[in-house]
Amino acid sequence: MSAEGGSAKRFVLLGTDYVYPRTTNKILRAFLHSKGVKDEDIMEEYTPFGHSDYQTIIANIKKFASAGKKTAVVSTINGDSNVPFYKELGNAGLKATDVPVVAFSVGEEELRGVDTKPLLGHLAAWNYFMTIKNPVNAAFIKKYQDWAKKNNVPNADTVVTNDPMEATYVGIHMWAQAVEKAKSTDTDKVIAAMGGQTFKAPSGFTLTMDKTNHHLHKPVYIGEVKADGQFNVVWKTKEPIRAQPWSPFIAGNESKQGL
Amino acid sequence: MRSLITSVLLGLCCLFGSAHAALDPAVLQGFASEDFGERLAVIGQLGQIGDEDARRVLEALENDSLAIGGGKVLIYDGEKAIDAASGVALEAVPEDIDTLTVNNRMRTAIEAAKAGMALFSTDPTVRLTAATRLRDGVDATTLPLLEKALASEQDAAVHEVLTLAVSRGNLGSGEAAKRLSAAIALADSGDPSVLALLEPRLDASVEPDAAVRAAVADAIRSIERRLAVAGAIGTVFTGLSLGSILLLAALGLAITYGVMGVINMAHGELLMVGAYATYVIQGLFQKYLPGMVDGYLLAAIPVSFLVAALVGVLMERTVIRFLYGRPLESLLATWGLSLVLIQTARTLFGPQNVQVDNPSWMSGGIALLGDTVLPWNRVVIIGFAAFVLVLIWLMMQKTRLGMFVRAVTQNRSMAGCVGVPTARVDTLAFAIGAGVAGLGGCALSQIANVGPAMGQGYIVDAFMVVVVGGVGQLAGAVWAAMGLGLIAKFLEGWTGAVVAKIVVLVFIIVFIQKRPQGLFALKGRFVES
């Protein structure tokens, strides 16, 4: 919405038809309302799982975008449907400079199976990108690539790291730290030791586990797709953000903000 | 004496330098700034300068090869660095070199700047893309540029685009006459964004002149009419495109299930085999024939047919031939085969989807009118489906093998009595069905995912088409595929994808209830096995 982000005034909320996109879009709609975006400038569309024919939806997006205001697409399309979606987008001539698509579930691993030329400049939001430059991340990538080569993972020479891998890596290390602190693997004792654990993560920050809700405090990165299927970080938070399990933009969650 | 030499040398340097360095280094220094606004300003200035040096810098920026190092703006290709202002190569790459990141906003500015330069190119196609690019964002800075280009433009197509662009800019002009001619010119546009520009001008408080208002109303009507036509063509095209994909997925099954009566649950995996064959061919071309990589798809067509046919022969010889006439057992056995094939692909190629690129001649599309684009890959696939259909029809109707297949279908024991080698005909027919599925997979690789489980998504659709069309009929499969494609697309435009899918399935259930034999039923006497 900022000038930096392209000053989008209209939003297409596009997702696969299940609970995650529906909830995300409910929160997004409430957030956009709070920023003064009216319902007529928001288009919400859902597709069934495994949907592979995005012709009609892309035509609708084009129609929606031609109303004279800068339009952006927020995509929560799940898994395999992304390839047909982006292919169709490229072939229909919608470039990132016209209608940028920001995806919440497309990362390095997903882009391995995609011809990235038509995707150049589209965006993704994650807590970690493989391109982040710091010694911890370099060591993390090296370790994973060596492991893949040693264990003959298919296509081992092109393996990539991504956000879910980093999250698992951090999580298992924090668990190990908590076990050491609790001096036991007993579930209840480990849970008690878990809150407040910190770990120096490949994302370049020392992450903390929240004492009350046991979510991680994480940085947020926005990256643009590069031609090689990696991301160019164009925006990031200055420090890790505390996770809020209950969105403050949805009515009825007011009493749960302390959690 | 020494000072004289120095000054001569300096003068020479200046001469020499000015021949190369048309760019003032101070202009470029803005790139070193952290502020995106300043960087954008530099891009704008470079667009104004508009010479070869400016173009070189913009192109470097676009290709991620513009860098800052040692306090200078450099063009850096990973090995050597060139001073962007002077074009002189540096002897050593500075230690602190860092590539400038380009974001979407800068990319837009670069494109606009380059388009402004390209407006005066000698190549009409370059001018056309530049004019099209600028048309969508006419503002006070680009309008004089466009007017200048329009005055000297000779090429008819470019002239048309420029006229529309200038008219857009002139809609907000102070003179009523300019606004009137702009509104009249814009009536020829097919662009929905023009509508958004025109609509506020119907208001008397925005547009005081009644004649202009009338012209605007006329223009809106004519654009809307044109858009409605383009929209209808677009919907029919998407329907045909979906239909052709359903048809390609189902044609192989129309032979194995429709004609031979084998319920082949592994049909989807034969599609997958064809798609992976395409992927392998693409890899071979990239490795051994990089110059002809765009032609890989043509080579992949026969290969995917042969590989899938071979897998089909193996399936038929080892499993299916023992199960003719036992639909339930063959259903279970072929389902098992499908799992074996999926796991084989997973072991060979890994569980992730693999990347199959569109050849460059299949990327992009034909811009019809306004925002209706017919993508090339879909146009090609519609043509390919027709080609495969004709091939199968010729094979079934005009060849001896086709005649045998039809004979065995109609009366197996009678055909055997008159000397038709029924077992071999079965194998060949199954192989052809499998091969056609491979062709379908080759086509699907161009628009969908290629992964081990890709076939699972098509098996239901394929059976749907064959059953609705009428078992044993190729023509039925064609009508059913096109009909289902068009119905699905018309409904989707109206109700959304989720509801459209449900409605189509309900329609098929009702249809099969009323007409279990499908659209076309074979007439005549049959020996039920």
Structure tokens at B379: 């146009």
* Pairwise CB contact (< 8 Å): A114 & B355: yes
- On whether the CB atoms of residues B236 and B402 are closer than 8 A, the answer is no
Distance between CA atoms of residues B29 and B140, nearest Å? 26
Model pLDDT, residue A232: 86
Q: Which residues of chain B does A68 touch, with a Cβ-Cβ cutoff of 8 Å?
A: 193, 196-197
> CA–CA separation, B170 vs B72, rounded Å?
42
| Per-window interface: B 226-255 vs A, CB < 8 A | 231, 234-235, 238, 241-242, 245
Residues of B in contact with A234 (CB under 8 A): 101, 103
Q: Say whether the ipTM exceeds 0.90.
A: no
For tokens 């189509």, name the residue: B504
Residue B62, pLDDT > 60, answer yes
Quick: pLDDT tens for A43-61: 999 998 888 888 888 888 8
| Cross-chain Cβ contact A90/B363 below 8 Å | yes
Distances (CA, A) of B162 to B144, B182, B311, B461, B508: 12, 12, 57, 47, 51
The size of the A-B interface in CB pairs under 8 A is 142
Using an 8 Å Cβ cutoff, are B422 and B408 in contact?
yes
pLDDT the model gives residue A218:
92
| Closest residue, chain A, to B195 (C-alpha) | A67
Cα–Cα distance, A248 to A74 (Å, whole number)? 20
Q: Which residue has the higher pLDDT, A78 or B430?
A: B430
Residues A142 and B118: their CA atoms lie apart, in Å, by 45
Share in percent of chain B as helix, strand, coil (round to 5): 70, 5, 25
Strands A101-103, A42-47: pairing is unpaired
Q: Is A55–B376 a contact, with Cβ atoms under 8 angstroms apart?
A: no
- A56 vs B197: CB contact, 8 Å cut-off? no
On chain A, the residues whose CB falls within 8 A of the CB of B101 are 232-234
Which residues are CB-contacts of B371 (< 8 A; sequence separation ≥ 6)? A59, A62, A63, A66, B191, B192, B230
* Structural domains of chain A, with CATH: 10-130+218-250 (3.40.50.2300), 135-209 (no CATH)
3-class DSSP state of B443:
helix
Is the Cβ pair A92, B352 closer than 8 Å? no
pLDDT digits (tens, 9 = 90+) for B126-150: 777 777 777 766 666 677 777 777 7
> B369, B227 in Cβ contact below 8 A?
yes
Share of chain B above pLDDT 70, in %: 92
Q: Enumerate residues 6+ apart whose C-beta is below 8 A from A251.
A: A30
Contact list in B for residue A72 (CB cut-off 8 A) is none
**Edge to edge, what strands does the sheet with A71-76 contain?**
A42-47, A10-16, A71-76, A101-103, A123-126, A221-225, A231-236
- Closest by Cα among A106, A98, A93 to A71: A98
Question: Is it the case that residue B231 has pLDDT exceeding 50?
Answer: yes
Q: What is the CA radius of gyration of chain A?
A: 20
- Buried-exposed string A224-250: b where 16+ CB fall within 10 A, e elsewhere: bbbeebbbbebebeeebeeeeeebeee
Predicted local distance difference test score (pLDDT) of residue B9: 45
Q: Give the model's confidence band at B20: pLDDT under 50 very low, under 70 low, under 90 confident, else very high.
A: very low
Smallest Cα–Cα separation from A88: which of B62, B383, B364?
Answer: B364
Q: Do B367 and A93 touch (CB under 8 A)?
A: yes
Each residue of B435-468: pLDDT tens digit?
Answer: 999 999 999 998 888 889 888 888 888 888 988 8
CA distances from B232 to A86, A89, B265, B490 (A): 24, 20, 37, 10
Comparing B484 with A90, the larger pLDDT belongs to: B484
Q: How confident is the model at residue B15, as a pLDDT? A: 42
Residue numbers of B between 101 and 130 with CB closer than 8 Å to A: 101-105, 107-108, 111
User: Two tokens at B397?
Assistant: 């109707």
Q: Establish how many alpha carbons lie within 13 A of residue B173's alpha carbon, considering only the half-sphere containing its beta carbon.
A: 18
Q: In 3-state terms, what secondary structure has residue A75?
A: strand
Angle (nearest 5°) at CA B236 between B230 and B237: 85
Residue B177 DSSP symbol:
H
- Say which amino acid occupies A209: M
Phi, psi of A15 (to 5 degrees): -155, 170
Measure in Å the smallest separation between the Cα of A52 and chain B Cα atoms: 7
B182 CB burial (10 A radius; 0-12, 13-18, 19+): buried
Across B453-485, b (16+ Cβ under 10 Å) vs e yields bbbbbbbebbbbbbbbbbbbbbebbbbbbbbbb
- Rounded Cα distance between B254 and B176, Å, is 66
For B492, the closest of A4, A56, A83 (CB atoms) is A56
What residues of chain B, 432 to 451, have a C-beta less than 8 Å from chain A?
447-451
Beta bridge partners of B369: B372
* pLDDT computed for residue B337 by the predictor: 93
Q: Which of B161, B174, B179, B166 is nearest to B219 (CA)?
A: B179
Vertex A238: Cα angle to B74 and A216 (nearest 5): 130
| B4: closest CA of chain A, how far (Å) | 52
Q: Do B104 and A6 touch (CB under 8 A)?
A: yes
- In chain A the first and final C-alpha atoms are separated, in Å, by 29
CA distance B311 to B52: 57
Residue B4 per-residue DSSP state: H
Q: Phi, psi (5° rounding) for residue B516?
A: -60, -25
A60 chain-B contacts, CB cut-off 8 A: 493
Contact B372 A59 (CB under 8 A): yes
**B-chain residues near A117 (CB < 8 A):** 357, 363
Q: Which of A13, A18, A52, A110 to mutate to test the interface with B (most CBs of B within 10 A)?
A: A52
Give the pLDDT confidence of A234-254 residue by residue, as tens digits: 888 888 998 888 888 887 777
Q: Give the gap in angstroms from C-alpha B481 to the nearest C-alpha of chain A.
A: 15
CB A99, CB A64: distance < 8 Å: no
The total number of residues shown for chain B amounts to 529
Put simply, the answer to whether B497 touches A46 (Cβ < 8 Å) is yes
Pick A52's closest partner by Cβ from B364, B365, B457: B457
Per-residue pLDDT of chain A (259 residues; tens, 9 = 90+): 565 666 788 999 999 999 999 999 999 999 999 988 888 899 999 998 888 888 888 888 888 888 777 889 999 988 778 888 888 888 887 888 888 899 988 888 888 767 777 788 889 999 999 998 888 999 999 999 999 999 887 777 788 999 999 999 999 999 999 999 999 989 999 998 998 899 999 998 999 998 888 899 999 999 988 888 889 888 888 889 988 888 888 877 777 777 7
A11 close to A74: Cβ distance less than 8 angstroms: yes
Q: Per-residue confidence at B523, pLDDT binned at 50, 70, 90? A: low
Residue A129 with chain B: CB contacts under 8 Å? none
Chain A partners within 8 Å of B354 (Cβ): 113
B37 pLDDT above the threshold of 80: no
The answer on pLDDT for B4 being more than 50 is no
Compute the CA torsion angle B290, B293, B299, B304 (nearest 10 deg). 100
Is B149 in contact with B135 (CB distance < 8 Å)? no
Our separate counts of H helices and E strands in chain B read 21, 6
Quick one: pLDDT at residue B481? 92
Token digits of residue B370: 């306004």
pLDDT at B303 over 90: yes
Measuring CA to CA, which residue among B465, B501, B497, B510 is closest to residue B243?
B465
Q: Report the SS3 class of residue B392.
A: helix
CA B353 to chain centre: 19
- Nearest Cα of chain A lies from the Cα of B424 at a distance, in angstroms, of 38
pLDDT digits (tens, 9 = 90+) for B497-507: 888 888 999 99
**CA B377 from centre of chain:** 5
Q: Check: CB of residue B518 under 8 Å from CB of residue B468.
A: yes
Would you give the DSSP letter of residue A248? T
Q: Which residue has the tokens 């099209």?
A: B132
CB spacing of B103 vs A234 below 8 angstroms: yes
Give contacts of B367 with chain A, Cβ < 8 Å.
Answer: 93
For tokens 């010119």, what's the residue?
B185
Chain B hits for A53, Cβ within 8 Å: 238, 241-242, 245
CA distance A167 to chain B (A): 20
Secondary structure of residue A35 in the 3-state scheme: coil
Q: Do B353 and A80 touch (CB under 8 A)?
A: yes
Contacts of A168 (CB under 8 A, 6+ apart): none
How far is C-alpha B468 from the geometric centre of its chain's CA atoms?
30
Cβ distance B354 to A50 less than 8 Å, yes or no, reads no
Torsion of CA B154, B156, B160, B166, to 10 degrees: 0
Q: Name the residue facing B365 among A68, A91, A113 (closest C-beta).
A: A91
Q: Pick from B264, B254, B269: which is nearest to B316 by CA?
A: B264
Top-confidence residue, B446 or B41:
B446
CB B303 within 8 A of CB B434: no
Chain B hits for A16, CB-CB cut-off 8 Å, are none
